[in-house]
Amino acid sequence: MAQLVFGGGTSHSPIVTLDGDMWEGYAQIDKFSQGFYDTDGNFATLQELIDRAGDRYVKESSDEYLRQQADGIQGALDRLAADIAATAPDVLIIIGDDQLELFGFSNMPAISIFYGDKIISHTARQRPNLADEIQSVVAKGHGMDEHHVWQGAGSFARELIESLIEQGVDMGAANEVTDPTKYGFGHAFGFIITRLMGEKKIPVVPVLLNTYFPPNQPTSARCYDIGRKLRKAIESSSSNLRVGIIASGGLSHFVTNAPLDQLVLDALRTGNGEALCTLPPHLLKEGSSEIKNWVVVAGAFEGKTTAWDEYFPVYRTLGGTGIGLAFASWGALGDS
């Protein structure tokens, strides 16, 4: 049977692809946003957030502080990449959310596994109010600068689908990118392949979770259960593969919610599945919904705590807008 040899999680924010000198330029997009969900899950404008915060984020939003965070983040990514290299999985399952890259509103499955052998990336959409140089660096870091073709693990992915169906998970399934000029794989998957795999490109099984778009977003409890069943599907495979699984995305954004992030990280550190199953739904909106990708991996590693994690609460404006960036590794199920 297949063996689960690695578990991890990483944020994939555009800023993790950028040098610290570019962070200020990226932060300009917040000035043009219509608003953000605050730490209570309520909608507020940037000016309202700034008025509430006062001088709370003066230090944290300074160029010097943000550059230090940028350096630390690259160190955490290097550490995660080293863990992947050391455990040497034959295939890597990526739990990511699709943001109108492969799927559209005409067909948005709650959860789907891609079982094709060719994973083709979409190209990044141009964003207004963001410098061309920054957009170019982000697109390349996300594997969306051109239509890259990466190796899938079709036979193994199909085994996972069939096992999950038998276990009562109503899986969506796809096996081909027919026209990458219209639809293809996005940043949640391209970032992992581009940044963490190094020279050895490991075959990938994309698991696409609809965290963003109503009305069919899986609950946190459902995500945890899917993770448990995904582990069973891996271990019941007839293959002799060494398998890794990694969550892509999160944590809180686009207003950094450190208490929510710490709640999640504490649950991962202690193996508290109940806490992950009962995360407040009203706080898992927009980008913060990507926390559910981590919940799936935690379910797959039920009974095991993270081996290490690093957390960077990024406040890129005086209003506290930004993102909680996190990086973690579970190691292997058999490790002590």
Q: Assess if residue 336 is contained within a domain.
A: no
Q: Assess if residue 41 is contained within a domain.
A: yes
What domain range includes position 208? 3-329
**140 class by beta-carbon count within 10 Å (0-12 exposed, 13-18 middle, 19+ buried):** middle
Which CATH number do you get for residue 111?
3.40.830.10
Q: Assess if residue 52 is contained within a domain.
A: yes
The 10s digit of each residue's pLDDT in 25-52 is: 999 899 999 999 999 999 999 999 999 9
Given pLDDT bands bounded at 50, 70 and 90, which one contains residue 109? very high
Q: What is the mean pLDDT of the chain?
A: 95
Predicted structure pTM score: 0.96
Q: Assess if residue 209 is contained within a domain.
A: yes
The 10s digit of each residue's pLDDT in 79-104 is: 999 999 999 999 999 999 999 999 99
Q: Assess if residue 335 is contained within a domain.
A: no
Q: Assess if residue 334 is contained within a domain.
A: no
Given pLDDT bands bounded at 50, 70 and 90, which one contains residue 333? low
| Pair 198, 263: CB distance under 8 Å | no
Q: Assess if residue 104 is contained within a domain.
A: yes
Checking DSSP bridges between strand 242-248 and strand 308-315, what pairing results, if any? unpaired
Domain count across the chain: 1
Q: Assess if residue 261 is contained within a domain.
A: yes
